[in-house]
């Protein structure tokens, strides 16, 4: 499945819908409403405002749908929910456009306002929803007919896993699960499921199995006697970008934990992995991009000053980069202004300390007010990092941290940040023990993520920069 291509279909469709609906509304408003208000026919002039609206109004609609989370999980959607979300966003968007562009129109009666709103809403909703319905219906039929599906891994190997597998495979219309294999939970030599699916390994191999087979969904179907393994399973997959489902117990069903998502699938509990509401998550990303772009633009003179300072402070390149581990365990290259002498890590990775002889005099000045981190705004724009989030580490140190604190993997559910709550409260760590101690602050941040908390951390970071409390 090509997710980018599928997403682009919706985006292009929404852009065309926004452009056509605004163009038609512009013409009809002149002919039907303004002509009535003035008492004579108003000629339609296709001026700069008209063409400006044809481009900017669709951008407004696409941004609104993006913030609502519409473009996420484009293969996993209900047509009824799609109707409701399109209706709601169109209604809110039309109200915003009304107050921004239509309220100052010359009218003979307030009824013309209602006509304008109704006309714009009807055009925008129909032109947006009908193409969406066509695209989504075609996709749903492909999934139900097993032409496309989600690479699914079954965790479990005996009675419950076998019953679930047979139940899903025997449905006349597929729920979208394309089973790649199963993972065994115990060390037995034979399993009921191996007659139907390939055994890909054990729980210890889970991260590698998921990466190698491009798994998109995991279903946990373990026996009652194997429930003690659940923490280990969740820990292994916690930092992966997956849909995770489990077989419910009778208690789960009676307490209302089981929500029906498809008429054709077995009843399963989907474990929520969203740390932020969808609109906040998307708005956070939008703020990251806009803030970073303007930060680079306005700080350009400072960038030039730092480039000259690093160049003349010691021999070597201006920028320093190395591999760190980001969201869902994906490696990326982080960029900084070089603050150490060249070849400072010939003996292997090492954390900096208070009186580190490897740091250049100009590097000490940059670190004091954290100016060496400024190139990471480029990392934010390309999507490797966020402005606020747990600081990314190198795999060398992550391996050591996980031995003492296995829950470190929980941090990799979010994009790493230029600044973090751990850095604000604890500062830079000089050894693995201090990294583990700082970890609790980043875990608190993740469990309390919100835009409000992000802004608070950014304010504290600015305060630390001006106080020169970095190192």
Per residue in 187-237, pLDDT tens? 877 888 988 999 999 998 999 999 999 999 999 988 888 878 888 888 888
Same domain assignment for residues 298 and 239: no
Same domain assignment for residues 94 and 177: no
Q: Which of 247, 271, 295 is the last residue of a domain?
A: 271
Same domain assignment for residues 318 and 429: yes
What is the distance in angstroms between the CA of the first residue and the CA of the last residue of the chain? 47
Tokens standing for 64?
């609104």
Q: Which of 59, 120, 112 is nearest to 94 (CA)?
A: 120
Farthest-apart Cα atoms in the chain, separation: 88
- Count CB atoms within 10 A of the CB of residue 377: 23
Q: Which of 219, 238, 271 is the last residue of a domain?
A: 271
Q: Which of 271, 287, 320 is the last residue of a domain?
A: 271
DSSP string, 383-424: TS-EEESPPPB-HHHHHHHHHH-GGGGGGGGS--EEE-HHHH
The helix or strand, by DSSP H or E, that contains position 455, with its residue range, turns out to be helix 451-467
Helix axes 79-97, 48-67, angle to 10 degrees: 140
* In contact, 22 and 57? CB cutoff 8 Å: yes
Same domain assignment for residues 178 and 252: yes
The segments of the chain whose pLDDT lies below 50 read 251, 253-254
Same domain assignment for residues 164 and 135: no
pLDDT at 324: 94
Same domain assignment for residues 109 and 156: no
Please tell me what DSSP assigns to residue 131: H
Structural domain range at position 14 = 3-144
Interatomic CA distance for residues 107 and 98, integer angstroms? 14
pLDDT at 385: 96
Same domain assignment for residues 17 and 109: yes
What are the C-alpha distances in Å from 358 to residues 151, 333, 343, 354, 396?
Answer: 48, 21, 9, 11, 20
What are the C-alpha distances in Å from 326 to residues 37, 348, 406, 443?
Answer: 59, 21, 17, 16
Same domain assignment for residues 241 and 342: no
Burial of 448 (0-12, 13-18, 19+ CB in 10 A): exposed
Please tell me what DSSP assigns to residue 150: E
Same domain assignment for residues 83 and 160: no
Same domain assignment for residues 298 and 414: yes
Q: Looking at residue 197, which CATH number applies to its domain? A: 3.40.50.720
Q: Domain count of the chain?
A: 3
pLDDT at 415: 94
Q: Structure pTM?
A: 0.80
Torsion of the alpha carbons at 327, 333, 338 and 341, rounded to the nearest 10: 110
Same domain assignment for residues 306 and 445: yes
* Sign of the C-alpha dihedral computed for residues 56, 57, 62 and 64 taken in this order: positive
The overall average pLDDT reported for the chain is: 87
pLDDT at 261: 55
Same domain assignment for residues 186 and 118: no
């Amino acid at each position: 499945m090509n997710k980018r291509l599928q997403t682009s279909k919706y985006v292009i469709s929404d852009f065309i819908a926004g452009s056509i609906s605004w163009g038609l509304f512009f013409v009809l408003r002149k002919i039907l409403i303004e002509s009535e208000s003035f008492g004579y026919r108003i000629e339609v002039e296709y001026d700069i405002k008209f063409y400006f609206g044809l481009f900017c109004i669709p951008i407004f609609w696409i941004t609104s749908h993006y913030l609502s989370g519409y473009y996420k999980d484009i293969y996993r959607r209900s047509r009824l929910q799609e109707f409701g979300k399109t209706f709601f966003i169109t209604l809110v968007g039309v109200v915003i456009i009304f107050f921004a562009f239509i309220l100052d129109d010359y009218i003979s009666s307030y009824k013309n306002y209602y006509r304008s709103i109704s006309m714009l809403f009807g055009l925008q909703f129909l032109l947006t929803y009908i193409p969406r319905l066509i695209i989504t219906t075609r996709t749903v039929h492909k999934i139900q007919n097993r032409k496309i599906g989600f690479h699914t891994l079954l965790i479990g190997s005996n009675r419950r896993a076998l019953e679930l597998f047979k139940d899903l495979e025997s449905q006349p219309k597929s729920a979208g699960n394309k089973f790649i294999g199963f993972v065994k939970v115990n060390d037995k030599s034979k399993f009921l499921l191996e007659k139907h699916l390939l055994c890909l390994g054990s729980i210890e191999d889970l991260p590698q199995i998921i990466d190698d087979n491009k798994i998109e969904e995991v279903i946990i179907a373990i026996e009652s006697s194997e429930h003690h393994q659940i923490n280990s399973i969740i820990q292994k997959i916690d930092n992966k970008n997956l849909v995770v489902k489990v077989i419910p117990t009778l208690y789960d069903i009676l307490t209302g934990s089981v929500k029906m998502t498809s008429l054709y699938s077995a009843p399963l509990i989907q474990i929520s992995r969203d740390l932020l509401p969808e609109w906040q998550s998307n708005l956070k990303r939008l703020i990251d991009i806009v803030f970073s772009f303007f930060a680079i633009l306005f700080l350009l003179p400072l960038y030039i000053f730092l480039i000259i300072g690093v160049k003349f402070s010691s021999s070597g390149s201006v920028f320093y980069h190395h591999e760190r581990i980001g969201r869902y365990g994906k490696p990326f290259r982080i960029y900084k202004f070089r603050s150490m002498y060249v070849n400072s890590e010939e003996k292997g990775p090492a954390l900096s300390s208070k009186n580190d002889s490897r740091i250049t005099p100009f590097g000490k000045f940059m670190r004091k007010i954290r100016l060496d981190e400024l190139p990471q705004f480029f990392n934010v724009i390309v999507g490797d990092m966020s402005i606020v989030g747990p600081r990314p580490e190198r795999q060398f140190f992550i391996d050591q941290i996980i031995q003492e604190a296995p829950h470190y993997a929980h941090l990799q559910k979010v994009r790493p940040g230029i600044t973090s709550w751990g850095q604000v409260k604890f500062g830079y760590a000089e050894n693995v023990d201090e990294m583990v101690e700082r970890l609790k602050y980043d875990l608190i941040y993740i469990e309390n993520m919100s835009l409000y908390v992000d802004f608070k951390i950014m304010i504290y970071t600015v305060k630390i920069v001006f106080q020169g409390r970095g190192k």
